[in-house]
Structure 1
Amino acid sequence: MAIYINQSTRVLVQGITGRQGSFHTVQMLGYGTNLVGGVSPGKSGQAVKGVPVYGTVFEAMEEEPAEASVLFIPAPFARDAAYEAIDAGIKILVIITENIPLHDALDIMEYARQNEVVVVGPNTFGLVSSGQCKIGIMPNRIFIPGPVGVVSRSGTLSYEIVGNLSAAGLGTSTVVGMGGDRVVGLSFIDVLKEFEKDQDTEAVVLVG
């Protein structure tokens, strides 16, 4: 078991043809994430490592319905990209983008709340359900499946903790990056409640 995402989660990449988006698409594919499509305005019909690119989230969802989307979008355009994903029916938004304008971030969180959408980030390293699905920018090699959940605002500390848990043979169930911007979607309490319901998570490491 895991929280939020698993091996069946279908994922879109918004900003897939950009430098960051294309690089981390390759890494997520290498982890085994079920990437079903990418979105890049004006680039419909292209492909990134075999992942089809669509011009809008709506177009992508018509062809390859997905539950989650990860955003590699410049900060000034992140609100519009998030709104588009929510309007198209995405239920989990992972926003890698940092320094989103404060009022834009507040708007995203309120719109997500109204539509019952989970927002991870902004300014997050993402989330991983070990051995099942990775959405974000974390290094693939440090994760092994296990009974320990991790939730943190810090990417560097999370990598250190996950690496040590793996080295000790314990491993992780799901690792959640809260995000480092002033306004983020999930609270520690939100994530802890999900871990509490997960029968395969026996312990949790919480890092500020």
Structure 2
Amino acid sequence: MAIWLTADSKVIVQGMTGSEGSKHTARMLAAGTNIVGGVNARKAGQSVDLGGRSLPVFGTVAEAMAETGADVSVVFVPPKFTKDAVVEAIDAEIGLCVVITEGVPVHDTTRMWDHAIEKGGRTRIIGPNCPGIASPGASNAGIIPADITTPGRIGLVSKSGTLTYQMMYELRDIGFSTCVGIGGDPVIGTTHIDALKAFQDDPDTEAIVMIGEIGGDAEERAAAYIEEHVSKPVVGYVAGFTAPEGKTMGHAGAIVSGSSGTAQAKKEALEKVGVRVGKTPTETAGLLREVLAAVPATAS
């Protein structure tokens, strides 16, 4: 089983005809993702040959959904057009919108999120500035490499794309139910807590890896949620122990200000509620192996 993205998901790509969109659409197809079309108003009515498939291009998300039954959109459009693309997907009430684009203005992301709430929260947004979501062996929506891991019983939620990939590779012998890269911008759609709740409710996810980083208080809030609501074992890693104060590191949201948002504070908050936190990604993978050894394997 998987969360949010399954083998039955029907995926469209907003920006499929662009260079990045077409490249990653071909990669998603190769991973077995059921891509049913793309969206580009200027090329509506055309088709694009990718990965041995002829994929139709629709003028709007609503048209694509009506014609194909799509329930997932992956957004590969330039930053200045991202807000409008996501608002269009929200207005069409698509179930999941995965926003890969980097460099989206925070004001635009805030408006996207507010619009989703105004529309009743019918559209889950993952991102922006994220690698996407992959349910190994079932579907892959985004830019996560499909050949670095296997289906299994671990759930992974991460702010960092590259650390998502490393953890998937480190634990490839055990495998993953779903891997979610939520992105590291100051404002994002899906949070650690959202993923923790979904993994807790998923009967085939037996342990969870949570990767955070400096900046903000998302990891501290996740720790409080784990204490109250998560009974499955959780291990964690926090990137940024050596980051200098006041300097943005990597992601736009990864900045330490005074005593707020430090890696040490996040580590302490997680350990206080029983989450074992590794000093490196490899050590974190080792901790997961230790805690999972005590959990009987039931995933099919």
Both structures adopt the same fold (TM-score exceeding 0.5): yes
2:81 aligned with 1:77: yes
Separation in 2, partners of 1:129, 1:6: 7
- 2:28 alignment counterpart: 28
After TM superposition, the structure 1 = structure 2 runs for residues 181-192 of structure 1, keeping only pairs within 5 Å, are 181-192=185-196
- 2:8 alignment counterpart: 8
After TM superposition, the structure 1 = structure 2 runs for residues 97-176 of structure 1, keeping only pairs within 5 Å, are 97-115=101-119, 116=121, 117-166=123-172, 169-176=173-180
Q: Which amino acid letter does the alignment assign opposite residue 78 of structure 2? A: P
- 1:51 alignment counterpart: 55
Q: Which is higher, the Rg of structure 1 or of structure 2?
A: 2
Identical columns (%) = 49
Report if the CA contact (8 A) 2:13-2:38 is conserved. Answer: yes
Separation in 2, partners of 1:148, 1:114: 33
- Give the TM-score, by structure 1 length: 0.96
Q: Which amino acid letter does the alignment assign opposite residue 118 of structure 2? A: Q
5+ residue gaps, structure 2, are 213-300
Q: 2:64 aligns with which of 60, 71, 88?
A: 60
Separation in 2, partners of 1:47, 1:143: 32
C-alpha displacement of 1:114? 2.7
Q: Which amino acid letter does the alignment assign opposite residue 201 of structure 2? A: K
- The higher relative CO (CA closer than 8 Å, separation ≥ 6) is in 1
Report if the CA contact (8 A) 2:154-2:174 is conserved. Answer: yes
Report if the CA contact (8 A) 1:13-1:69 is conserved. Answer: yes
2:181 aligned with 1:177: yes
Matched positions, count: 206
Separation in 2, partners of 1:122, 1:105: 8
Any idea what SS the aligned residue of 1:184 has?
coil
2:39 aligned with 1:39: yes
Separation in 2, partners of 1:189, 1:44: 38
Separation in 1, partners of 2:65, 2:195: 27
Q: Which amino acid letter does the alignment assign opposite residue 35 of structure 1? A: I
